[in-house]
Amino acid sequence: MLEPGEQGIEQTAWSCGKRVVDVGGLDLAYVEIAGAEPPLLLIHGFTDTSRSFSLLAPHLPGRRLIMPDLRSHGASQAGEGCGVADFAADIAGLVRRLRLDRPVVVGHSLGGMVSIALAAQYPELIGGMVILASTLKPDFGSDHQLIDGVAALRDPISPSDPFYDWWHACRPGVPRAFLAGLAQDASAIPAARWRAILEEIRRTDLTAAARAVRAPALIIAGGRDPLFGEAHQKSMAGALTGSRLIWAHDCGHNPHWDEPAFVAKAIAGVLPVR
């Protein structure tokens, strides 16, 4: 179990802190930080791992954090399917396996989509949601930079591939060791799996699912998000009944890297008191 220090969590220690549990016949890896209930269940984005929250964790002191690697990512097994529903079913299994008591789910990008699917299909399992730089329907055109960039990847993917300069773009000051760790993690995913997951994301439309969600939801949006801009955020806020939308105006697609203290303060503001 990792312990965040004053300067954050050492990136070289991140993988060593993972535990693995069987969830429906699939080995799912996760990192846990001990603390108070209710737990926060943090779900990363496409090609990231639980490491994505290593800069945020020190700003949530005293709170129990559960940070899984989605299937096909990090130390988790690939499994057969790679759609949003598959990821949501895995997370539901993890909640049951660890006997988490209605955690607040924090989902970034793809993880936000997974959180919405989870809340719609398994409403009894979660106590609330924080959706971070996500969308209901990606609508990536065939000429989108992400589509072109992923199509150009070839195995073995190099952690120094220039594609990461765009894919992991963030504000100056984000630790280089953190970004290097993210690139290393992402490069371990075969290029064919990148493309398969991305195709599943492209065909996903969570509009109906979001309208069925009754869990309280906070949406945190990056004001300079090149993937999911204002139209995406307003559509999501309109579909999630009673949700609240706040802006990290100077952030791009990764506000929890750019401004972890801001994001942590927003999360803390929605945590239930027990």
Residue 111 pLDDT exceeds 90: yes
Q: Which two tokens stand for residue 262?
A: 């801001």
| Sequence spans of domains, the chain | 23-51+61-268
- State pLDDT tens for residues 57-84: 999 999 999 999 999 999 999 999 999 9
CA distance 86 to 124: 18
8 Å CB contact between 115 and 105: yes
Instruction: Give me the chain's average pLDDT, please.
Output: 94
pLDDT level of residue 31 (50, 70, 90 thresholds): very high
Please report the pLDDT score of residue 271 as a whole number: 81
Please report the pLDDT score of residue 258 as a whole number: 97
Please indicate whether residue 52 or residue 141 has the higher confidence score (pLDDT): 52
**Burial (0-12, 13-18, 19+ Cβ within 10 Å), 83:** middle
Please report the pLDDT score of residue 6 as a whole number: 41
Mean pLDDT across 26-46:
96
pTM for the model: 0.96
The topology (CATH level 3) of 23-51+61-268 is Rossmann fold (3.40.50)
Residue 4 pLDDT exceeds 70: no
Residue 3 pLDDT exceeds 70: no
pLDDT level of residue 233 (50, 70, 90 thresholds): very high
Residue 7 pLDDT exceeds 60: no
Q: Which two tokens stand for residue 102?
A: 């209605």
Please report the pLDDT score of residue 8 as a whole number: 53
Please report the pLDDT score of residue 14 as a whole number: 81
Residue 13 pLDDT exceeds 90: no
Residues near 2 by beta carbon (within 8 Å), at least 6 away in sequence = 9, 13, 14, 17, 31, 32, 33, 57
Question: Where does 49-200 show beta strands of DSSP type E?
Answer: 63-68, 104-108, 128-132
